[in-house]
Amino acid sequence: MDFKELKYMIAVAECGSVTAAAKKLYISQPSLSYVISKVEEDLGVRLFDRSHSPVTLTYAGKRYIESARQILEINDNLRKEFEDILNEEAGEIDLGIPTERAGYMLPRVLEKFRRSFPKVNLRLKETRSVQIIRDLESGNIDIAILPGDPGDLPEHFDTELICREHLYLVAGRDLITKDMILEKGNEHQLPKVDLRRMRNVPFILMTDGQYIRRYAERILQEAGISPEDTTIVTSGITAVQLAKEGLGATIISERAVIPLGGTGEIPCYRYTGSEDMWDVRAVYRKGAYLSRSARFLIDLLKEEFDKNH
């Protein structure tokens, strides 16, 4: 059993296809099929059920893949620890972060990080939150920066609070009528609207797989709203821009409002509902070794974004 074999078998399990796994691994399909047959022959058990598509794991296969991931994680932790022991301050951090959040958060910390760890390569995986969680579970990334409730995450993750962010309702002023306003705004706080009176307002929602979509739907459900007139977008900034122009209302994090001028330029409102803030956290697998550079990056993000610091 070697590490390459373990990685090959995990790839087949994740792809559900020998052909797709071979393409992902940049090897030929016959070569990968040979490795699978050899491993199964050495172990004396069938790991994959290849009688249908997609390929599925047998019970023995599930145990093999579970153990393979643990073995690779132990090896990865040991390698990172030895890098720190050697004090060469070199290595890599694979960071998973939603696309627009990367553009908002990383420019404020990267220069300082590079000064402290010039030989550490930071490799970004920018995608939707649900995919980031899958990549974290499979070991494809070391750390994730994610918003939301830690209770929504699998139990085998550890989290550290980086900061808390406001959630706003953004809507063109023509969409907000006087009867919707519960409290007028002033220099200290935004006006507050009653979502229950916005049943006929079109809403702009993010695509499935993003935490803000789940939060927005939960908040609207609390208000008894199931919007029929919706626009679905992939970008929080696009949602804010459309809402500003009066094309719908959107519930969005402040990080999508700040780049466009903040609450002074964008028509933002507080709203009725149990959740008007959420946590942004560093997330990593329980038991995973955090290198000094990874630890420094997390602490740097806390220092920069924690408003109570």
Instruction: Give 197-238 pLDDT, tens digit per residue.
Output: 998 999 999 998 888 998 899 999 999 998 888 999 999 999
Question: Which pairing describes strands 249-253 and 157-171: parallel, antiparallel, or unpaired?
Answer: antiparallel
Per-residue confidence band for 187, with pLDDT thresholds at 50, 70 and 90: confident
Q: Flag whether the pTM goes above 0.85.
A: no
The span from the CA of 132 to the CA of 95, in Å, is: 9
CA dihedral 242, 246, 248, 253 (to 10 degrees): 60
Nearest Cα to Cα of residue 244 among 210, 227, 269: 269
pLDDT score recorded for residue 309: 39
All structural domains of the chain? 3-65 (1.10.10.10), 88-164+279-305 (3.40.190.10), 165-277 (3.40.190.10)
Tens digits of residue pLDDT in 44-54:
999 999 887 88
CA-based nearest residue to 77, from 300, 271, 306, 286: 286
Nearest to residue 169, comparing CAs of 195, 202, 196, 200?
A: 195
